[in-house]
C-alpha cells in the first residue's frame, strides 16, 4: 500500500482544489464582514461584488496552480521482468480460438495460477484467484469452472466473477474495481491479502475485457501478461511465463 506521503504528493493538485472550494465561502464571508465594518452597511451590492471578486481571484489562482503542475513522467518496468509470486491473482478467462478445441491446461489463467502457486503442489504464495469470465452458452464461464476444479487441493481458493457482455469494456472495468473494493474488507485482511498484493493477468479474454482490466489497474496496480508458444514444425515449445507490466517514475537526468 502506498504511504500517505506519496498519496498526498500524487493528489496534491486535487486536494488544493478541494481546499479552495472549502475556503472560498469562508473568505467570502470574512471579506464581506470586513468591508461592511469598514465602509458601513449602505453599499450592500458593492460589498457583495467585492467579496465575490476576492473569491473568484482565489479560485482562479488555485486552478492556475493545478493546470501548471506537470504529472510525474512514468515508464514501464523492463519488458523481461517477471512478477514476484503474489497471494492474490485476478485473471481473465477466454474461450480460445474459434474452431479449436479448448485445452484447459493451456489456458493462460492456469499458467498464471501455477506460477504464483510456485509448483503444482501449491507451496507458493497464491491464496485466492479471481477468474473473470463471460456468461452465457457461448461465454467462458464453463472454462472458468473447469479451471476452478483443476485447482482443487492446491490451497488456492478460486472465485468466479461473470460479465454479461464479453465485448463491454465497462463491465470488465467494473468487475475488477469491485474485486479490489472487496479486498479492502475484513475477510481478505484476515488472510493477509491487501490490494497491493494482488496482480492482474490480462492475457485471455476478449480485447474489450483486456482494455477494461488495464484501465481499472491504471498506473498503481501491477499487471502481467503470460507469454508462451506451442511446439511448431521444427521448433520447440516455448514455456509459458508471466511478464510484469507496471509503471514506475522515470528518472530525471540531472543537468550539468
Question: What tens digit of pLDDT does each residue of 1-24 get?
Answer: 445 445 444 555 555 555 555 555
Is the domain of 24 the same as that of 134?
no
Q: Looking at residues 87-93, what average pLDDT do you find?
A: 96
Round the average pLDDT of the chain to a whole number and report it.
74
Residue 223 has pLDDT above 50, yes or no: yes
Order of strands across the sheet that contains 157-163: 157-163, 128-134, 88-92, 198-201, 223-229, 238-245
Q: Looking at residues 66-73, what average pLDDT do you find?
A: 53
Residue 189 has pLDDT above 50, yes or no: yes
Per DSSP, helices labelled H in the chain are 4-10, 12-39, 44-68, 108-117, 141-150, 169-183, 186-190, 207-217
Is the domain of 240 the same as that of 189?
yes
Residue with cell 540531472: 254
Is the domain of 168 the same as that of 60?
no
Is the domain of 187 the same as that of 161?
yes
Is the domain of 59 the same as that of 81?
no
Is the domain of 235 the same as that of 171?
yes
Question: Residue 104: pLDDT band by 50, 70, 90 thresholds?
Answer: confident
Q: CA separation (Å) from 228 to 94, 146, 151, 185, 203?
A: 16, 21, 21, 35, 11
Is the domain of 47 the same as that of 93?
no
Q: What is the pLDDT of residue 95?
A: 84
Selection from 38-42, 133-137, 157-161 with the highest mean pLDDT: 157-161
Is the domain of 94 the same as that of 47?
no
Residue with cell 506460477: 115
* Residue 255 maps to a domain: no
Selection from 43-47, 178-182, 243-247 with the highest mean pLDDT: 178-182
Q: Which tens digits make up the pLDDT trace of 191-210?
A: 889 999 999 999 988 999 99
Is the domain of 26 the same as that of 117?
no
Question: Residue 166: pLDDT band by 50, 70, 90 thresholds?
Answer: very high
Is the domain of 46 the same as that of 105?
no
Task: With beta carbons less than 8 A apart as the criterion, state whether 125 and 86 touch.
Answer: yes
Beta bridge partners of 66: none
Pick the residue with more confidence: 36 or 163? 163
Q: Looking at residues 69-86, what average pLDDT do you find?
A: 63
What domain count does the chain have? 2
User: Where is the domain boundary, 39, 71, 103?
Assistant: 71
* Residue 125 maps to a domain: yes
Structural domain boundaries enclosing 104: 76-249
* Residue 58 maps to a domain: yes
What CATH number did the domain enclosing 240 receive? 3.40.50.10770
**Nearest Cα residue to 28 out of 54, 64, 9, 1:** 54
**Nearest Cα residue to 205 out of 94, 103, 129, 104:** 94
User: Where is the domain boundary, 55, 71, 87?
Assistant: 71
Q: What is the pLDDT of residue 1?
A: 46
User: Where is the domain boundary, 25, 55, 71?
Assistant: 71
Question: Residue 41: pLDDT band by 50, 70, 90 thresholds?
Answer: low
* Residue 215 maps to a domain: yes
Is the domain of 137 the same as that of 215?
yes
* Residue 256 maps to a domain: no
Q: What is the pLDDT of residue 236?
A: 44
Is the domain of 113 the same as that of 222?
yes
Pick the residue with more confidence: 70 or 126? 126
Question: Residue 102: pLDDT band by 50, 70, 90 thresholds?
Answer: confident
Q: What is the pLDDT of residue 30?
A: 62
Instruction: Report the C-alpha gap between 76 and 118 in whole angstroms.
Output: 25
Amino acid at each position: 500500500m502506498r504511504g500517505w506521503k506519496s498519496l498526498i504528493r500524487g493528489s496534491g493538485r486535487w486536494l488544493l482544489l478541494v481546499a479552495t472550494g472549502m475556503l472560498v465561502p469562508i473568505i467570502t464571508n470574512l471579506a464581506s464582514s470586513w468591508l461592511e465594518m469598514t465602509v458601513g452597511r449602505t453599499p450592500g451590492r458593492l460589498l457583495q461584488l467585492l467579496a465575490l471578486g476576492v473569491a473568484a481571484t482565489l479560485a482562479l489562482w488555485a486552478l492556475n496552480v493545478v493546470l501548471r503542475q506537470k504529472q510525474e513522467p512514468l515508464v514501464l518496468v523492463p519488458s523481461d521482468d517477471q512478477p514476484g509470486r503474489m497471494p492474490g491473482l485476478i485473471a481473465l478467462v477466454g474461450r480460445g480460438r474459434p474452431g479449436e478445441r479448448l485445452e484447459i491446461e493451456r489456458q493462460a489463467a492456469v499458467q498464471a495460477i501455477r506460477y504464483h502457486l510456485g509448483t503444482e503442489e501449491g507451496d507458493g504464495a497464491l491464496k485466492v484467484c479471481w477468474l473473470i469470465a463471460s456468461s452465457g452458452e457461448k461465454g467462458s464461464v464453463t472454462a472458468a469452472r473447469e479451471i476452478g476444479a483443476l485447482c482443487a487441493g492446491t490451497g488456492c481458493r478460486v472465485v468466479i466473477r461473470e460479465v454479461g457482455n464479453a465485448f463491454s469494456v465497462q463491465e470488465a472495468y467494473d468487475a475488477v474495481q469491485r474485486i479490489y473494493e472487496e479486498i479492502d474488507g475484513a475477510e481478505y485482511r484476515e488472510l493477509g491479502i491487501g490490494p497491493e498484493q494482488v496482480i492482474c493477468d490480462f492475457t485471455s479474454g476478449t480485447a474489450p475485457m483486456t482494455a477494461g482490466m488495464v484501465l481499472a489497474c491504471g498506473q498503481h496496480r501491477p499487471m502481467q501478461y503470460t507469454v508462451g508458444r506451442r511446439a511448431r514444425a521444427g521448433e520447440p515449445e516455448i514455456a509459458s511465463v508471466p511478464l510484469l507490466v507496471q509503471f514506475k517514475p522515470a528518472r530525471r537526468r540531472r543537468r550539468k
